[in-house]
Structure 1
Amino acid sequence: MSDGLQGHSPTDVTKHLKGIDFPAGKPDILKHAKQQGADQGVIELIDKMPDGQYETMADVMKGVGKG
């Protein structure tokens, strides 16, 4: 498991982003995760991602890994 995920699995992140429309910026991703009931750990992972537009869920996971 990547240190960037801080004990969360990729599934923890992706399950809270189900149904999100891409492309999406980090603020949109954070908002969607909060609306889906993501816990504070998942929110922090997303918040640490680099700013920018994400085209796919794979891009989001790469961003989470860089956070």
Structure 2
Amino acid sequence: MANPIEVQKFLKGIDYPADRRTLVETARQEGASREVVAALEHITDRSYDGPNAVSQEVSHVSIS
């Protein structure tokens, strides 16, 4: 499971609201690990209004 704090490190400067695709693309561009990208790819596909909403969603993601 990806650490929500680590995830936020790669989303620094993103404009919210942001959808899942934007979050994933931004993390990739910022050099995020595969674990972080995978966690973002598995969050619910919706609009996130800020970093807290993303962190909360990432904390519920379980990747097998």
TM category (shorter chain) comes to 0.7 to 0.9
Runs of 4+ in 1 over 3 A off after TM superposition: none
**CA positional deviation for 1:36:** 0.3
How many residue pairs align between the two structures?
Answer: 61
**CA positional deviation for 1:11:** 1.9
**CA positional deviation for 1:53:** 0.2
**CA positional deviation for 1:10:** 2.1
Task: Report 1 or 2 for greater relative contact order, CA contacts < 8 Å, sequence distance ≥ 6.
Answer: 2
**CA positional deviation for 1:9:** 2.4
Is 1:23–1:53's contact at 8 Å kept on the other side of the alignment? yes
Identity across the alignment (%): 31
Determine which of 23, 34, 37 is the counterpart of 1:43: 37
Please show how residues 8-19 of structure 1 align to structure 2 within 5 Å: 8-19=2-13
Unpaired runs of 5+ residues, structure 1, are 1-5
Counterpart CA distance in 1 for 2:59 and 2:3 is 11
Determine which of 9, 18, 22 is the counterpart of 1:28: 22
